[in-house]
Chain A
Amino acid sequence: DAKTTQPTSMDCAEGRAANLPCNHSTISGNEYVYWYRQIHSQGPQYIIHGLKNNETNEMASLIITEDRKSSTLILPHATLRDTAVYYCIVSDSGGSNYKLTFGKGTLLTVNP
């Protein structure tokens, strides 16, 4: 059963912020929200993760709602190289035993 729900595709203009939503209404208390992306024919790339609080790194920001049932990944200034499939994944806390179950993700197309 899918643990996350994401839109199939989204478009964004180059230079604008890309906001990618994710629903995870059945998330449990010890599960983190992870975001990875996969550029065509490459291996996935880690972007960011969070538990409760909003997080920011050099790539993106992650906004998690207070009830933790949904989150939004924000790419502040999208470039053409950000065109990729973005996966929102919930998983137990980190460590060698945590597995990533990939859903279908959102294909983000950044247009010039």
Chain B
Amino acid sequence: GAVVSQHPSWVICKSGTSVKIECRSLDFQATTMFWYRQFPKQSLMLMATSNEGSKATYEQGVEKDKFLINHASLTLSTLTVTSAHPEDSSFYICSAFFSGSPYEQYFGPGTRLTVT
């Protein structure tokens, strides 16, 4: 099956710094990727839809200037958390849509972000 990777798997950063998370589709091209956030004991919340070569579409309530998304190639989307604060500590998960299997999203393993 299609594989999606994320890097790093976990990261600790200081408050006020920025952190970049990468999401890669390893064996297929993904024109669309999705970014989710999951707080402890809660469900996944969709943050934004990332389309290759165009601006991301953010869900209501998600600050686009704080969570910068870049989808510069068909295999890579990045999420940058700018000026991170402790409340941004969460599990960030990406998924990719594969046109060869239109009813299935492939999820990455997630990135655990801790802001101190």
Contacts and interface: CB of A to CB of B under 8 A. Distances in A.
* Tier of interface size on chain B: 20 to 34
A43 interface: yes
A44 B34 CA distance: 13
Interface of A: 32, 34, 38, 41-46, 49, 87, 93-97, 99-105
Given A44-B93, A45-B107, A96-B97, A101 B46 contact: yes
Does more than half of chain B's interface fall in helix, strand or loop, or is it mixed?
strand
Does more than half of chain A's interface fall in helix, strand or loop, or is it mixed?
loop
A59 to B, nearest CB: 11
Contacts of A42: 109-110
Nearest to A47: B104
Interface of B: 4, 6, 31-32, 34, 36, 43-46, 49, 51, 91, 93, 95, 97, 99, 102-110, 112
Contacts of B43: 87, 102-105
Nearest to B111: A43
B46 A99 contact: yes
Contacts of B49: 99
Contacts, number: 56
Nearest to A96: B32
A32 B103 contact: yes
A106 to B, nearest CB: 12
A77 B106 CA distance: 24
Contacts of A41: 91, 110, 112
Contacts of B112: 41
A103 B44 CA distance: 8
Contact of B31 (A46, A87, A96, A99): A96
